[in-house]
């Protein structure tokens, strides 16, 4: 069985390595369109689109393609990756002293045979609540100037320099990093 991760995220690559399987990396490159009425639907649809894009290149091969997408939601607003430093500052100020949700959608596309149809597709979404300490204006400015959050949903990585501002979580830590690996393991096991 061949496994493919349809993501270029080094964090997802590291997490999927915990499964103890050999896998290839083939990042999806299609346009990301948010479709759905709820955060769960949106991340599942984004993950499914990524998995389908890569699965289409492997018709006829016994392959499992894993797609994932993560969003941060605060007061009903979806916070993706910041557009620029000003957007990053806006997001961090919004999260400061508050609780928000992190949703990761996962799609598992299992391909067999010579058909363009997949034999089985599973999608799911995990939600983790994250609590931020209040941040001063100086802390926000320093964070924005030195952070690696430009390539992360919500402008922060729980596993990096934002860790000192997080007072707690409710749910799966790995989900906030970008892949709910325990749930993925059990879903793969059921397949």
136 Cβ contact list (under 8 Å, min separation 6): none
Residue 146 near residue 165 (C-beta atoms within 8 A): no
C-alpha distances out from residue 169 to 42, 129, 152, 173, Å: 22, 5, 18, 7
Which of 70, 45, 79, 74 shows the shortest CA–CA distance to 159?
70
Q: From the candidates 24, 37, 69, 84, which is the catalytic residue? A: 69
Q: Report d(CA 178, CA 169) in Å as an integer.
A: 14
DSSP letter at 162? Answer: G
Active-site residue flag, 37: no
Task: At 103, give phi and psi (nearest 5°).
Answer: -115, 130
**Looking at the annotation, which residues are catalytic?**
69
């Amino acid at each position: 069985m061949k496994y493919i991760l349809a993501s270029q995220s080094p964090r997802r690559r590291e997490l999927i390595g915990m499964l103890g399987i050999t896998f290839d990396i083939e990042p999806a490159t299609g346009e990301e369109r948010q479709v759905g009425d709820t955060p769960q639907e949106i991340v599942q649809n984004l993950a499914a689109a990524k998995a389908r894009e890569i699965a289409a290149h492997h018709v006829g091969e016994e392959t499992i393609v894993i797609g994932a997408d993560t969003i941060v939601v605060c007061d009903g607003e979806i916070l993706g990756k910041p557009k620029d430093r000003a957007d990053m500052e806006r997001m961090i100020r919004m999260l400061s002293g508050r609780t928000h949700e992190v949703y990761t959608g996962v799609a598992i596309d299992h391909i067999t045979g010579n058909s363009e149809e997949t034999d089985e597709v599973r999608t799911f979404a995990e939600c983790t609540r994250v609590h931020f300490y209040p941040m001063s204006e100086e802390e926000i400015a320093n964070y924005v100037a030195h952070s690696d959050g430009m390539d992360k949903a919500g402008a922060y990585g729980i596993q990096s320099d934002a860790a000192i501002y997080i007072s707690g979580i409710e749910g799966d830590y790995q989900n906030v990093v970008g892949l709910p690996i325990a749930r993925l393991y059990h879903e793969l096991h059921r397949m």
